[in-house]
Structure 1
Amino acid sequence: MFKIIGHRTLKTAVGAALAIFIAEQLKLDFYVSAGITAILCVLATRKDSLKASWQRIVACVIGLALATVIFELIGYNVIALCALLLVFIPIVVYFNARQGIVTSTVFMLHLYTLKQVSLGILFNEILLLLIGVGAALLMNTYMPSNEKQMRNLQREIEQSFKKVWYEYARYLQRNNTDWSGEELITISKKIDDGLAYSLKAMDNNLFRQDDYFYHYFKMREKQFEIIERMLSLISTLDQTVLQSQKIAAFMEELSKSVHPGNTALLYLYQLHKLTEEFREMELPISRKEFEVRSTLFHLLYEIENYLKIQKKFEPLSSKR
């Protein structure tokens, strides 16, 4: 049933029914408005629901206050209603409560329909609002965890990174061109999905900033940009030299170490040793060899940037 309907749809239906039931039992006028408010306040995340609920409360208080003054001064007619909306909407927008415009307009129209304002009527409207908001917030106390999806994406991205590093190394060693490059296409989509899941998880944690996965996917996003740039460099190399063999061996080591932990310092040290070794080698004797060596040094620079990004990342184990 959950797979067919969806948890948000179920929460919206139950929240609306609960709000209407409570308002009806309290014998409030226009009790169905409590259900409408609940429907509008059940959103994708707890933070969104709290924000929307607060904006509706602010807008409703402003709207009822303005409606009381304008209807009593001008009368309960279309001109007064038009004047009310002309004043109400800009004020609500100014107070950054635009999500409450529709809900508040419904409550103001209740006064217009009744053709009168009293403390009892205003109390009725406030109760409708609070019941609707309360039911929505109660429903949104349950939010399914998406940690499993994020961990799956994390594993899939790391497997793809390993494959890319391995294929880069294979090309530098033997100029193999039989790799389809499929991983380069899918990684970007998986990172985007991971960021979307992580942002949603952060919005559902109101009292604890659980941002590990967000920073993880941002790290991979930056590293992937470097990996993409490296492809254009590697594709220009049509011959192997001693230096390319050594870089290929280093890339193979990197392919084995793609995981959530942080081993960047170790590999940065090895990379610096490799760079110094290249600098001490004899100078190239031909233009072609010079161009190859230049491209390989550029590759080393990009690998260093890749590792520096990893170095800044704080693993989950160190946050607990």
Structure 2
Amino acid sequence: MGRYKIGYRTLKTAIGTAAAIIIAQFFGLNFFASAGIITILCIQNSKKKSLKTAYARFVACILGIGFSFIFFEGIAYHPLVIGLLLLLFIPVTVLFKVSEGVVTSSVIILHIYSGHQMTAGIVLNEVSLIVIGIGTALLVNLYMPSLDSKLKQYQVEIEKNFRKIFEEMVSYLRTNESRWMGNEITETAGLLEEAKSLAFRNVENHFLRSENYFYHYFQIREKQFEIIERVLPIVTSIEPLVKQRYMIADFLEVVSSYIHPGNTAQQLLIRLYDLQTQFKDEPLPESREEFEARAQLFQLIKEMEQYLLIKKSLKVESKVITNHLITEK
């Protein structure tokens, strides 16, 4: 059996729901439990998403009250009228881009329907439920646990896999043999997907920040990983043990040792350009097999150039992140 764990969102939902109901009951509101339902619907996994959801539900509820007045007071308090109301109301919420609030506003509409009348007191009661429910959700959602430690762990795992992949390429170039199963390839693809999703959530927890280091970092690694996936077939397709294989193997070994958050791309690019110059100074190939092998190795060099140019675009913010993590501990 898996270990039972209560997440932050579950805890906030439980606290927020109870608080909303207590407040609504304290003020003697009818349907006070609905304040708790609204709170449940408004709690999200990021601050920006929570604010967006709260706005959508509030606007939809106000629209729902207006529609209720027009249809119930203008036509009749009848089940068929509810159907007609929703038939027109839902497209309007879509038009105003507040369709997330359909469920919440439907609760409000049904409250008004069950009272068979629409007075200032009933409207005030429903608006109060909306304000309490949404307000409580926003308050409890102000606290979001830092995701930096988890993101740092993803960073460590991805870099470890990158190193392993490069080490295997180095080994194959030197020996023309490999027993590697390639598990790190599929594992890295999954890690990058999860890491980007978590990093995006981290961005949404900061109202004044549209992008952060980790999200940009994982985007860079994703682009580099695409190049690695292109490079691997090139490496495995080279058969002749030409001299240039060992030169590139040495270079890839250096690249492997430089895989970390710091931006060392410029140093590696200088090494790569030196390697290109050495290739050009080498005597022409003596056989077709050697020519094809050197052509593939040259293609590998061009791919590695792109790999390093992508890394060069990553701002050196790792020191700031590391200091932040140390402070948190």
Q: Which TM bucket (shorter chain)?
A: over 0.9
**Greater alpha carbon shift after TM alignment, 246-255 vs 201-210:** 201-210
Corresponding residue number in structure 2 for 1:300:
301
SS in 2 for 1:5: coil
Deviation digits for residues 227-246 of structure 1 (CA, Å, limit 9, x no counterpart): 11111011111221111111
Corresponding residue number in structure 2 for 1:82:
83
Corresponding residue number in structure 2 for 1:241:
242
> Structure 1: 5+ residue runs without aligned partners?
none
User: Is 1:277 aligned with 2:242?
Assistant: no
Deviation digits for residues 159-212 of structure 1 (CA, Å, limit 9, x no counterpart): 211122122112111223133322222111111121111011111112233521
Counterpart CA distance in 2 for 1:35 and 1:214 is 34
Corresponding residue number in structure 1 for 2:261:
260
Corresponding residue number in structure 2 for 1:160:
161
Q: What displacement does 1:317 show? A: 4.8
Counterpart CA distance in 1 for 2:78 and 2:184 is 65
Counterpart CA distance in 2 for 1:40 and 1:170 is 54
Corresponding residue number in structure 2 for 1:230:
231
> Structure 2: 5+ residue runs without aligned partners?
322-329
Q: CA RMSD in A?
A: 1.6
Corresponding residue number in structure 1 for 2:32:
31
Which letter does structure 2 place at the counterpart of 1:109?
L
Which letter does structure 2 place at the counterpart of 1:259?
H
Counterpart CA distance in 1 for 2:101 and 2:186 is 42
Corresponding residue number in structure 2 for 1:8:
9
Counterpart CA distance in 1 for 2:22 and 2:288 is 84
Which letter does structure 2 place at the counterpart of 1:253?
V
TM-score by length of 2: 0.93
TM-score by length of 1: 0.95
Counterpart CA distance in 2 for 1:146 and 1:316 is 16
Structure-2 change in CA distance of 1:11 and 1:132 (3 Å):
same
Counterpart CA distance in 2 for 1:75 and 1:187 is 61
Corresponding residue number in structure 2 for 1:46:
47
Corresponding residue number in structure 1 for 2:119:
118
Counterpart CA distance in 1 for 2:35 and 2:305 is 59
Deviation digits for residues 210-235 of structure 1 (CA, Å, limit 9, x no counterpart): 52111111111111111111110111
Corresponding residue number in structure 1 for 2:326:
none
Counterpart CA distance in 2 for 1:83 and 1:162 is 62
Counterpart CA distance in 2 for 1:21 and 1:139 is 15
SS in 2 for 1:205: coil
SS in 1 for 2:237: coil
Counterpart CA distance in 1 for 2:7 and 2:152 is 22
Counterpart CA distance in 2 for 1:147 and 1:76 is 54
Counterpart CA distance in 1 for 2:263 and 2:190 is 24
Counterpart CA distance in 2 for 1:171 and 1:81 is 71
Paired residues of 2:240 and 2:290 also in contact (CA < 8 A): no
Counterpart CA distance in 2 for 1:270 and 1:116 is 81
Corresponding residue number in structure 2 for 1:221:
222
Counterpart CA distance in 2 for 1:305 and 1:158 is 18
Corresponding residue number in structure 1 for 2:132:
131
User: Is 1:312 aligned with 2:322?
Assistant: no
Counterpart CA distance in 2 for 1:240 and 1:48 is 56
User: Is 1:68 aligned with 2:69?
Assistant: yes
Counterpart CA distance in 2 for 1:281 and 1:80 is 86
Deviation digits for residues 241-285 of structure 1 (CA, Å, limit 9, x no counterpart): 111111111111111100111111111111112112211211111
Which letter does structure 1 place at the counterpart of 2:252?
M
User: Is 1:197 aligned with 2:215?
Assistant: no
**Greater alpha carbon shift after TM alignment, 171-180 vs 243-252:** 171-180
